[in-house]
Amino acid sequence: MKQSIFTILSNTALTENVYKMVLGGDTSAITAPGQFVNILLDGLYLRRPISVCDYDENTLTIIYKVVGKGTQAMSHMETGELDILTGLGNGYDLTVSGDHPVLLGGGVGVPPMYNLARQLLAQGKKVTVILGFNTKSEIFYEEEFKNLGCDVLVTTVDGSYGIKSFVTDALKEVSYTYFYTCGPEPMLKALHKATATSGQMSFEERMGCGFGACMGCSCKTLTGYKRICKDGPVMRKEEILWES
């Protein structure tokens, strides 16, 4: 983990309420796709945990949906500096992907799939990406995944674009060696049943610190109590315990 100051390089709307912010700064603490950052905002007490969409040596890209005061404030930022904790969480383990992993992102669960896809492709894997949205106007990053060289399937719940289905239905048409996913919990739960292989899922929870100190985001797993911020947010399929 590292605390450092980032400069806002750009902040643009991808859809009506989803924004992409590119920040310049020291990304050396980020070690794996699927990690997150925790952002301090003026006038708000707790930091805002946001997943990392992409990063290189000195830029960080995050994609966030406006859901509350913090993300609302972020959406209005054009320039300036932000105090950010980077390198939080465990991230995805790429070493177990096999030759043809499938990546499934639902809504704002799509962003962490981007750097993951990029790194898997760099390792010479064939990558299929299934992006799930409610409706056409919410879709983002379809072209970006195609430009990386992924096979991309887009599903919408209302059928206004792509395949009219959930990501679980689209998955039936794909052969794969392993899966990685991030999205709303009902989607993760459905995928837990629908997937034929092992895989990894990223979870979210309201956090106090984001680095394992406060026990605010604990969950029960088959391998004991885990802190989503520190021991997660990525969990292996085999350890997940659904409580409801």
Partner 1 sequence: MGKLNVNLCGIELANPVIPASGTFGYGYEFAELYDINELGTFSFKGTTRDARFGNPTPRIAECSAGMINAVGLQNPGVDKVISEELPRLAKCFHKPVMANVSGFSVEDYAYTCEKLDKEPQVGWLEVNVSCPNVHGGGMSFGTQPQAAAEVTRAVKAVTTKPIIIKLSPNVTDIVSIAKACEDAGADGISLINTLLGMRIDLRTRKPVIANKMGGFSGPAIFPVAVRMVYQVAQAVNIPVVGMGGVSSAEDVIEMMLAGATAVEVGAANLVHPYICRDIIRDLPNVMEKYKINSLQEIIGGIK
Beta-carbon contacts of 196 under 8 Å, excluding residues fewer than 6 positions away, are 176
Site stretch for partner 1 (CB under 8 A), options 4-12, 89-97, 123-131, 214-222: 214-222
Contact in structure between 163 and 155 (CB atoms under 8 Å)? yes
Q: Which stretch binds partner 1 (CB under 8 A): 42-50, 58-66, 144-152, 163-171?
A: 42-50
Using rule CB under 8 A, residue 208 touches partner 1: yes
Q: What 8-state DSSP symbol labels residue 76?
A: T
Whole-angstrom Cα distance, residue 122 to residue 129? 15
Taking CB under 8 A as the binding criterion, the range among 8-16, 123-131, 172-180, 201-209 that sits at the site for partner 1 is: 201-209
The DSSP letter of residue 123 is T
Least distance to partner 1, CB of residue 45, Å: 6
Nearest to 52 by CA among 132, 120, 114, 102: 114
Say whether residue 219 binds partner 1 (CB under 8 A). Answer: yes
CA distance 31 to 10: 23
| 118 forms part of the interface with partner 1 (CB under 8 A) | no
Containing 3, the helix (H) or strand (E) segment is strand 2-13
Asked if 85 touches partner 1 (CB under 8 A), the answer is yes
The residue whose two tokens read 């992993």 is 101
Q: Considering beta carbons, is residue 91 or 199 the nearer one to partner 1?
A: 91
Separation between Cα atoms, residue 165 and residue 186, nearest integer Å = 14
Q: How far is the CB of 216 from partner 1 (least distance, A)?
A: 4
- As a whole number of angstroms, the distance between CA 136 and CA 75 comes to 21
Q: Report the site for partner 1 in 47-66 (rule: CB under 8 A).
A: 47
Question: Interface with partner 1 includes 220 (CB under 8 A)?
Answer: yes
Query: For the window 225-244, what string marks contact with partner 1 as x by the rule CB under 8 A?
Result: x----x--------------
Q: Which residues in 135-154 contact partner 1 (CB under 8 A)?
A: none
Per-residue CA distances from 240 to 107, 169, 182, 193, 243 (Å): 21, 22, 14, 12, 9
Dist. CA 111–CA 109, nearest whole Å: 6
Binding region for partner 1 (CB under 8 A) out of 20-28, 40-48, 119-127, 192-200: 40-48
| Among positions 93, 160, 216, 236, the unique one binding partner 1 when judged by CB under 8 A | 216
211 binds partner 1 (CB under 8 A): yes
Q: Which of 200, 227, 242, 199 is nearest to 49 (CA)?
A: 227
User: By C-beta, is 122 or 213 nearer to partner 1?
Assistant: 213
Q: Which residues bind to partner 1, rule: CB under 8 A?
A: 1, 3, 40, 44-47, 85, 205-209, 211-220, 225, 230
